Amino acid sequence: MTDFLPELRWSSASLGDLGTVVAIHSPDDETLRACGLARAEGGEPEVAAIGRMLEHLMDILWDVDPTTADREMNPLPTDRGPVAEAVAAYASGDSTAFDDVAISQPGSEYRQKVWAALREVPAGETVSYAELAQMAGRPQAHRAAASACANNLVAFAVPCHRVIRADGSLGGYLYYGTETKRQLLRAEGVEI
């Protein structure tokens, strides 16, 4: 007999023209498992973009955390619990909404340190990849810190959009590029 795995739930909230925050979480332990930004394409309805993002996030979970991905996903969104409340609060303009939300994402010991360091970067501030590497305990590991940002499965809770290049330019951003990163920073009071 196999162990019963509690279902996963999902929540979403619109960020207007930027798209929709989509979060997958486990309500049994109120932990955020994956989070991304969905954006409608070619006149499609927002719900189609959300569905596409949910599939994308679950595909990544299958690759990196099959035990979590093996849990059944409830097809209906929820607006209850700390993760759902954080999603709604973030969409309403509270840049600190995810600060106290529990997260879980698989990764190497160094990536875990980078992601923990990222959670210490306050809304309205930025750090360079070099500063992030320093914060994570490996000052020369700029590229490894950048790789951890690029492989961050819980965007917004681990705010990789707050990391910029040493020259002050934006650098890349997984969800729809640098203009989205600029707008997320602008919403937090940072102009670049």
Tell me whether strands 127-128 and 163-164 are parallel, antiparallel or unpaired: parallel
Kindly list the catalytic residues. Answer: 160
Buried residues in 99-130 as b, exposed as e (16+ CB within 10 A)? eebebebebeebbebbbebbbebebeebbbbb
Q: Which residues pair with 12 in a beta bridge?
A: 22
